Amino acid sequence: MGKKTLKYGLWIVGIILLLWTILTFWVEAKGKSTIKYYGNKKALYHIMIVYDPDPIYNLDQQICEQYAETFTRKGCFTVVASVSEAYNLNPGEYELIVLCANTYNWAPDWAITGFIKKLNIENKRIAAITLGAGSTSRSAKTFADLIIDRKAILINDFSYWLWRPNDESRTDESNVKLALEKAAQDAETVYSNLLNTP
């Protein structure tokens, strides 16, 4: 009886690991190609925002577009691009790059980290965004460390959550709505820091 129980338990663990591996490769696969432009190309400041679309929920897209809309109201020209489109952009044409990572297995997604490793961001001003269901502290630290290791100037880093409250005092409201409100405020901070960072 004990051997049968152990064998059954090992089968269950094996199936869970297999499903977890399949799910990981599915969410980590490069998302669809997308690019959107905001504002006037003749603006003084050009900003590039890069993310890899999450296949389950588009909080990443909503947050990135919220940043772009805020920057546009400030008179900036902003491009929001998926990783696959961002490879065609020249980082030298932008005064600020905003990099957005989804958290999978407590780490930033493979597409954005691979993009950063290939991108020449030395001395570029960078803002980092980390998204997750709830626990993003390890992912955010890994993401920030990677950006700093690439000798970029990290002017801000922020986290937003799908399930964990984005505002503990307003738990009866839509968490996504609160994330977007917070993103608009944080984008204002990023813009101020862009003006004040040499």
The answer to whether 79 and 49 have CB atoms below 8 angstroms apart is: yes
For every one of its 198 residues, what pLDDT tens digit does the chain have, with 9 covering 90 and above?
A: 567 777 767 767 766 666 656 555 555 667 688 999 999 999 999 999 999 999 788 999 999 999 999 999 999 999 999 999 999 999 999 999 999 999 988 899 999 999 999 988 999 999 999 999 888 999 999 999 999 999 999 999 999 999 899 998 999 999 999 999 999 999 999 999 998 877
- Reported as half-sphere exposure (CB side, CA atoms, 13 A), residue 83 has a value of 24
Helices 59-73 & 175-196 angle (0-180, nearest 10): 40
Q: Where are the beta strands (DSSP E) in the chain?
A: 35-38, 46-51, 77-82, 96-104, 107-108, 125-132, 153-161
pTM of the model: 0.88
